[in-house]
């Protein structure tokens, strides 16, 4: 499943000094992919790899001829304006390129001046969504999140029985997925105001975020040909941060019995950098179910998934209000947790998705669902932290939030850290809520 090799050796350093700073998200052991171009450019986007405070322009690198053999074929795909073809090429392309890039960027590499000429400062680039996403599916796989949400509505209720038997999901919307920096208008929709007996059509009054991870599909499968759980990891390219913005008042009214619609389809934000499954290898963890809990059906169970299906990705959520930004105050930290607590693994989500005959394609995007942990400070959505708006959260400067206000910027961060492995990070996923537009007909 996942193997450690020389590219994970924590003692290795880069010749680029900024990559060796202890708190840096992008040391030579990470090598995440994005699609970008210089901020001032109107030219084509191209694939890039992050190293320290720089991006290695893969199109420029390909032009140098420094990379040869099978890694050169992979580099040509990774340099394209979208990562679709590279994602679809699978581990046979991903692994040689990872080794070649590591060799070029590690201390002692030859041709450092040539590679240095292919670097762009991260401070001076603009990003695009890294691939043309065909389909987006958002799961609901954190038991703690599901329990917290149920208890806000029904204090003594447990999750629905199916939660423990299958990774629940709905088919989402691609057209409004944006890259970090996304700014969107508070959506209009139907909801029933507290105490009212009929719905109104009005700007959402209960805007929320959801701290999730986005899992990028690599090679797909033909319709009718399921992907076995034991093979699922071969179909996973990498992971980014994902904010599934949610209009809670609209959601509560519209989702029964077919699921969310307006509540989720106005904006979803992804981080630009995709950390590969290869880079995450040191952070795999056993996945288990308590002996007295429901055990998965055979198609959702495999020895490798038990041995290391979970991933210890640490996450935190920060909120930067317009007032705090104007006053020069730092963002408020709302919560933090780890993906290792998730009730279902990324591989189980993928295997379940394909199990009924659904074909997946390279660069399909899978949202993990909100990631909440077992204690109070580990909730991945404001509805949980503020108990459905009833217990507003203090964000400093005399401000409180039951739900998000116009001008609020939500920042997700993720990283992996443990003794004996290099710390690697995901960068940031940020997005901003703008005031509602006037409704159609009023403009
Ligand atoms: Mn979600």
- The CATH number of whichever domain residue 103 belongs to comes to 2.30.30.230
Separation between Cα atoms, residue 236 and residue 231, nearest integer Å: 10
Q: How many CB atoms lie within 10 A of CB 108?
A: 9
> If you measure from the C-alpha of residue 137 to the centroid of ligand 1, how many angstroms do you get, rounded to a whole number?
9
> If you measure from the C-alpha of residue 264 to the centroid of ligand 1, how many angstroms do you get, rounded to a whole number?
8
> If you measure from the C-alpha of residue 109 to the centroid of ligand 1, how many angstroms do you get, rounded to a whole number?
43
Find the helix or strand (DSSP H, E) in which 138 lies.
strand 136-140
Asked which of 128, 148, 170 is the last residue of a domain, the reply is 128
Separation between Cα atoms, residue 143 and residue 85, nearest integer Å: 35
Marked catalytic residue, from 8, 145, 235, 341: 145
Cα dihedral sign, 273-274-275-276: negative
Identify whether residues 107 and 223 lie together within a single domain: no
Identify whether residues 204 and 296 lie together within a single domain: yes
Task: Give a yes or no: residue 81 inside a domain.
Answer: yes
Identify whether residues 87 and 158 lie together within a single domain: no
> If you measure from the C-alpha of residue 242 to the centroid of ligand 1, how many angstroms do you get, rounded to a whole number?
9
Q: Which domain holds residue 101?
A: 6-128
Asked which of 67, 96, 128 is the last residue of a domain, the reply is 128
Identify whether residues 123 and 143 lie together within a single domain: no
> Looking at residue 2, what is its pLDDT?
65
Identify whether residues 148 and 34 lie together within a single domain: no
Identify whether residues 270 and 320 lie together within a single domain: yes
pLDDT tens, position by position, 188-247: 999 999 999 999 999 999 999 999 999 999 999 999 999 999 999 999 999 999 999 999
In 145-273, the DSSP E strands lie at 168-171, 177-179, 182-185, 188-191, 200-203, 207-208, 211-217, 236-243, 246-247, 268-270
Query: How distant, in Å, are the alpha carbons of 24, 380, 396 from that of 330?
Result: 19, 20, 9
Task: Give a yes or no: residue 211 inside a domain.
Answer: yes
Chain centre to alpha carbon of residue 150: 24
Evaluate if residue 25 carries a pLDDT over 90: yes
Do residues 300 and 356 make contact, with C-beta atoms less than 8 angstroms apart?
Answer: no
- The rounded percent of the chain whose pLDDT value lies above 70 is 99
Task: Give a yes or no: residue 442 inside a domain.
Answer: no
Do residues 100 and 115 make contact, with C-beta atoms less than 8 angstroms apart?
Answer: no
Identify whether residues 101 and 79 lie together within a single domain: yes
In 371-437, the DSSP E strands lie at 393-396, 399-401, 409-416, 424-434
Task: Give a yes or no: residue 172 inside a domain.
Answer: yes
Query: How distant, in Å, are the alpha carbons of 244, 298, 307, 355, 375 from that of 167?
Result: 17, 14, 19, 12, 22
From 433, 416, 435, select the one nearest 425 (Cα to Cα): 416
Task: Give a yes or no: residue 41 inside a domain.
Answer: yes
Q: How many CB atoms lie within 10 A of CB 253?
A: 16
Identify whether residues 118 and 202 lie together within a single domain: no
Identify whether residues 145 and 95 lie together within a single domain: no
> If you measure from the C-alpha of residue 206 to the centroid of ligand 1, how many angstroms do you get, rounded to a whole number?
15
> If you measure from the C-alpha of residue 64 to the centroid of ligand 1, how many angstroms do you get, rounded to a whole number?
42
Identify whether residues 38 and 167 lie together within a single domain: no
Asked which of 128, 145, 169 is the last residue of a domain, the reply is 128
> Looking at residue 443, what is its pLDDT?
61
pLDDT tens, position by position, 192-204: 999 999 999 999 9
Q: How many CB atoms lie within 10 A of CB 84?
A: 18
Q: How many CA atoms lie within 13 A of 172 on its CB side?
A: 32
Q: Domain of 316: which CATH number? A: 3.90.850.10
Evaluate if residue 184 carries a pLDDT over 90: yes
Task: List, as own/partner pairs, every contact residues 64-72 make where C-beta atoms lie below 8 angstroms and the sequence separation is at least 24, other chains included.
Answer: 64/111, 64/114, 64/115, 64/118, 66/104, 66/111, 66/114, 66/115, 67/97, 67/100, 67/104, 69/96, 70/96, 71/96, 71/97, 71/99, 71/100
Q: What are phi and psi of 52, to 5 degrees?
A: 60, -130
**Structural domains in the chain (count):** 2
Task: Give a yes or no: residue 145 inside a domain.
Answer: yes
pLDDT tens, position by position, 70-95: 999 999 999 999 999 999 999 999 99
Task: Give a yes or no: residue 146 inside a domain.
Answer: yes
Identify whether residues 25 and 123 lie together within a single domain: yes
From 116, 78, 117, select the one nearest 97 (Cα to Cα): 78
- The rounded percent of the chain whose pLDDT value lies above 90 is 96
Task: Give a yes or no: residue 124 inside a domain.
Answer: yes
Identify whether residues 59 and 194 lie together within a single domain: no
Q: What are phi and psi of 116, to 5 degrees?
A: -60, -35
Evaluate if residue 442 carries a pLDDT over 90: no
Q: 262 an active-site residue?
A: no
> If you measure from the C-alpha of residue 118 to the centroid of ligand 1, how many angstroms do you get, rounded to a whole number?
38
């Amino acid at each position: 499943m996942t193997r450690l090799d020389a590219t994970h050796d924590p003692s290795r350093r880069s010749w680029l000094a900024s990559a060796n700073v202890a708190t840096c998200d992008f040391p030579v052991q990470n090598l995440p992919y994005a699609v970008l171009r210089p901020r001032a450019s109107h030219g084509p986007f191209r694939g890039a790899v992050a190293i320290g405070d720089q991006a290695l322009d893969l199109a420029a690198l390909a032009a140098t001829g420094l990379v040869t053999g099978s890694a050169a074929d992979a580099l040509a795909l990774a340099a394209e304006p979208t990562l679709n073809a590279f994602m679809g090429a699978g581990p046979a392309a991903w692994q040689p390129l990872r080794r070649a890039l590591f060799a070029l960027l590690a201390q002692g590499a030859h041709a450092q001046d040539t590679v240095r000429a292919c670097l762009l400062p991260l401070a001076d680039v603009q990003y695009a969504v890294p691939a043309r996403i065909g389909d987006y599916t958002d799961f609901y796989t954190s038991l703690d999140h599901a329990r917290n949400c149920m208890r806000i509505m029904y204090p003594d209720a447990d999750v629905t029985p199916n939660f423990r038997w299958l990774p629940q999901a709905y088919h989402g919307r691609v057209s409004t997925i944006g890259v970090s920096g996304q700014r969107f208008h508070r959506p209009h929709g139907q909801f029933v105001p507290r105490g009212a007996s009929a719905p109104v059509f009005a700007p959402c009054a209960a805007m929320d975020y959801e701290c999730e991870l986005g899992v990028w599909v690599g090679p797909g499968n033909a319709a009718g040909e399921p992907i076995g759980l034991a093979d699922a990891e071969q179909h996973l390219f990498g992971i980014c941060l994902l904010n599934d913005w949610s209009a809670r008042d609209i959601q509560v009214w519209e989702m029964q019995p077919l699921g969310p619609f307006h509540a989720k389809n106005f904006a979803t934000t992804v981080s630009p950098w995709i950390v590969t499954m290869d880079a995450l290898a040191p952070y795999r963890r056993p996945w288990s179910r308590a002996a007295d809990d429901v055990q998965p059906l055979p198609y959702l169970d495999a020895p490798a998934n038990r041995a290391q299906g979970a991933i210890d990705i640490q996450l935190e959520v920060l909120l930067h209000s317009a007032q705090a930004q104007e006053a020069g105050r730092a963002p408020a930290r709302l919560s933090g947790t780890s993906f290792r607590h998730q009730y279902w693994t990324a591989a189980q989500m993928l295997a379940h998705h394909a199990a009924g005959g659904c074909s997946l394609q390279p660069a399909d995007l899978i949202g993990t669902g909100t990631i909440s942990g077992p204690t109070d400070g580990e909730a991945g959505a404001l509805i949980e932290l503020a108990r459905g708006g009833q217990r507003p959260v203090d964000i400093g400067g005399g401000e409180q939030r039951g739900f998000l206000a116009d001008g609020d910027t939500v920042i997700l961060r993720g990283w992996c850290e443990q003794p004996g492995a290099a710390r690697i990070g995901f960068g940031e996923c940020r997005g901003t809520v703008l005031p509602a537009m006037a409704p159609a007909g009023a403009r």
